[in-house]
């Protein structure tokens, strides 16, 4: 009889161990996720100086060189052992409470708190946990968990309890992921106070100094702006500091910066500030033009379907009303996807009717090599030169477009390779010949109800430049510095352009610390306005 009971208990114990293991796995994932979410809040604004106490802690951490995330994931570290013991102990606290063994639950909780204090100390000081510190806690926890196992709780009840707690952990993990995404999007959309301060000071300069406005009027008639023997770049942005980094990094790495011409378009709110910045700063003799999109009177509802849609009450409901309640990725709610500045890239030939070739640059990138050789590349009759992004399988047309709609599926290959929009060489002669802007208008009209693609400029670009895009060497344009923590350093070093696409922009506190210096070095920190905004 005893033998049969033992045979019955063995599989039940195995089931018990299985559910304990599952809870441990889910707890580990959740714990690491919450740690990383908290860790992200410590990134700093490029113009914000933290308190001296925080500086001291950061400097101490840097000197030690301990990466706590790696430490807690290392099999050989005491941090990893303590974390695993603590998570398993938490599971036994739950079980003990379920069986009204409050004394055991209290003992386990006390040791868990000791474990948490030790791990927090290691994270803050940057010093690894030693054997002398870890051994007493590990021994105490091991004894208590052995004691818990020896009590022989009812296995069936425990399994049911563990299932409910695993479900609760799954719900917490999902909620944490959603909350992180939403908070990250809010932070990405916000303008840091230091950048707002810079805009205000520059706008004051523009209004108080009539000489700047006179100088601007003189530049508008420069023959260099339409000289096709020079190298022309266009940037459409309302972010002054980001635009400055793009221009400064491009001229700093150019062999002949005086042969470069930058065409910047911004909105009416930032026009004066943008003018003041680029008129008061020298960029190695490069020519810089700043235009106001509100002066493009041809860009109206009768010409542009996008403008017409944004003014249409039904479209406003899609974009700003009920749309907000739909189960849509938070990043797709970013106002930039509806910004005319963002869609201005489809009107480059109209803005610069006398130019033949232009390199388009996004405002969230840094140039590391001379880009002038882009202008001599053979595009084989194509309009757009771009780096393809389908090394990963999901960066293909089906990822961005609705292939359940026959208008899309009948004309495009779902497996066609997507490409990066952010550093592109455009042959404007070929563009006008292929009438790409008219294609853009056609597809915007087809997507009036928002069913062919999500918001953004890449999906319509994939349609407009289908069969008109020349693949460039991958080293011309390396992406992901605004979301990917694990880009190979060798790839970054070899890149002509690095792109901070993603929410973790280098001018935000969300920025990834590893990449931020690549952007910071092109900011003139000695500029009086930057210093005033950093300390005010």
pLDDT score recorded for residue 389: 93
- Report the alpha-carbon distance of residue 344 to residue 121 in Å, rounded: 51
pTM: 0.68
Q: What dihedral do alpha carbons 182, 188, 191, 192 form, nearest 10°? A: 100
HEC string of 186-248 equals HHHHCCCHHHHHHHHHHHHHHHHCHHHHHHHHHHCCCHHHHCCCCEEEEEECCCHHHHHHHHH
d(CA 496, CA 371): 7
Which residue's structure tokens are 């196992």?
Answer: 149
In a 3-state reduction of DSSP, which class is residue 339? coil
What's the pLDDT at 187? 60
- Contact (CB, 8 A) for 78 and 129: yes
pLDDT digits (tens, 9 = 90+) for 383-435: 999 999 987 656 899 999 999 999 999 999 999 999 999 999 999 999 999 99
| Structure-token pair, residue 6 | 């033992």
Distance from C-alpha of 257 to C-alpha of 278, rounded to nearest angstrom: 15
Tokens representing residue 490 in the block: 């060798």
288 close to 262: Cβ distance less than 8 angstroms:
yes
**What element of type H or E holds 367?**
strand 365-367
| CB 290, CB 264: distance < 8 Å | yes
Q: Token digits for 331?
A: 């990043």
- DSSP assignment of 445-492, as one string? HHTTTS-SB-SSSHHHHHHHTTT-EEEPPGGG-B--TTT-TT--HHHH
3-state SS assignment for residue 514: coil
Handedness of CA 463, 466, 471, 472 (dihedral sign): negative
- Could you give the 3-state DSSP secondary structure of residue 434? helix
Task: DSSP for 273-303, please give it.
Answer: HHHHHHHHS--TT-EEEEEEGGG-TTSSTTT
Query: Residue 536 has what DSSP assignment?
Result: -
* 457 touches 478 (CB < 8 A): no
Instruction: Return the structure tokens found at 279.
Output: 């008129």
pLDDT of residue 44: 39
Select from 102, 96, 272 the least CA-distant residue to 199.
272
Q: For residue 182, what pLDDT is reported?
A: 67
Domain extents for the chain?
A: 67-152, 192-531
* pLDDT reported for residue 46: 36
Q: Are strands 423-427 and 469-471 parallel, antiparallel or unpaired?
A: unpaired
Instruction: Identify the residue whose tokens are 């905004």.
Output: 533
Q: Give me the residue label for tokens 């049911």.
A: 160
CATH architecture of structural domain 192-531: Alpha-Beta Complex (3.90)
Q: Are 82 and 115 in contact (CB under 8 A)?
A: yes
For residues 502 and 162, the answer to whether their CB atoms sit within 8 Å is no
Weakly modelled stretches of the chain, pLDDT under 70 = 1-69, 71-73, 75, 151-159, 161-162, 180-191, 314-338, 392-394, 536
SS3 321: coil
| φ/ψ of residue 478, rounded to 5 | -105, 125
pLDDT at 285: 94
Question: In this predicted structure, what is the pLDDT of residue 102?
Answer: 86
Both tokens assigned to 344: 């201005």
Q: Note the pLDDT of residue 223.
A: 95
């Amino acid at each position: 009889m005893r033998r049969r009971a033992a045979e019955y208990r063995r599989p039940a114990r195995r089931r018990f161990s299985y559910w304990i293991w599952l809870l441990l796995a889910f707890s580990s994932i959740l714990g690491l996720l919450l740690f990383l979410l908290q860790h992200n809040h410590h990134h700093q604004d490029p113009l914000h100086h933290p308190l001296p106490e925080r500086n001291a802690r950061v400097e101490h951490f840097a000197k030690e060189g301990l990466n706590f995330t790696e430490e807690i994931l290392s099999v050989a570290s005491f941090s990893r052992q303590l974390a695993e013991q603590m998570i398993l102990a938490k599971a036994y606290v739950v079980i003990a409470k379920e069986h009204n063994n409050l004394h055991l639950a209290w003992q386990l909780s006390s040791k868990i708190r000791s474990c948490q204090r030790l791990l927090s100390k290691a994270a803050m000081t940057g010093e690894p946990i030693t054997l002398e510190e870890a051994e007493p806690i590990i021994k105490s926890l091991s004894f208590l968990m052995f004691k818990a196992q020896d009590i022989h709780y009812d296995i069936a009840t425990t399994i049911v309890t563990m299932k409910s707690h695993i479900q609760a952990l799954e719900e917490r993990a999902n909620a944490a992921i959603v909350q992180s995404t939403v908070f990250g999007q809010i932070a990405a959309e916000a303008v840091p106070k230091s950048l707002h301060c810079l805009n205000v000071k520059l706008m004051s300069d523009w209004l108080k100094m009539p000489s700047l406005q006179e100088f601007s009027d003189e530049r508008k008639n420069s023959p260099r702006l339409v000289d096709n023997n020079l190298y022309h770049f266009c940037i459409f942005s309302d972010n002054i500091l980001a635009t400055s980094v793009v221009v400064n990094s491009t001229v700093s790495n150019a062999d002949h910066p005086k042969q470069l011409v930058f065409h910047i378009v911004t909105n009416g709110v930032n026009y004066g500030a943008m003018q003041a910045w680029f008129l008061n700063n020298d960029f190695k003799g490069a020519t810089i033009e700043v235009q106001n999109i509100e002066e493009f009177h041809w860009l109206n509802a009768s010409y542009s379907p996008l403008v017409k849609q944004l003014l249409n009450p039904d479209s406003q409901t899609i974009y700003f009303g009920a749309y907000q309640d739909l189960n849509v990725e938070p990043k797709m709610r970013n106002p930039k996807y509806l910004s005319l500045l963002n869609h201005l890239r489809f009107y480059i030939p109209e803005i610069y009717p006398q130019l033949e070739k232009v390199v388009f640059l996004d405002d969230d990138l840094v140039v590391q090599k001379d880009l002038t050789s882009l202008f001599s590349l053979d595009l084989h009759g194509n309009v757009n030169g771009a780096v393809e992004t389908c090394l990963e399988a999901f960066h293909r047309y089906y990822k961005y477009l609705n292939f359940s709609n026959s208008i899309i599926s009948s004309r495009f290959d779902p497996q066609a390779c997507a490409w990066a929009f952010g550093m592109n060489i455009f042959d404007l002669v070929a563009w006008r010949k292929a009438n790409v802007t008219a294609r853009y208008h056609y597809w915007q009209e087809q997507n009036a109800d928002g069913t062919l693609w999500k918001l953004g400029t890449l999906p319509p670009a994939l349609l407009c430049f289908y069969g008109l895009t020349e693949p460039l060497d991958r080293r011309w344009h390396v992406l992901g510095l605004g979301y990917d923590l694990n880009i190979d350093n060798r790839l970054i070093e070899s890149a002509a352009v690095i792109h901070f696409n993603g929410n973790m922009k280098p001018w935000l506190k969300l920025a990834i610390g590893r990449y931020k210096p690549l952007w910071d070095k092109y900011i003139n920190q000695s500029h009086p306005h930057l210093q005033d905004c950093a300390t005010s």
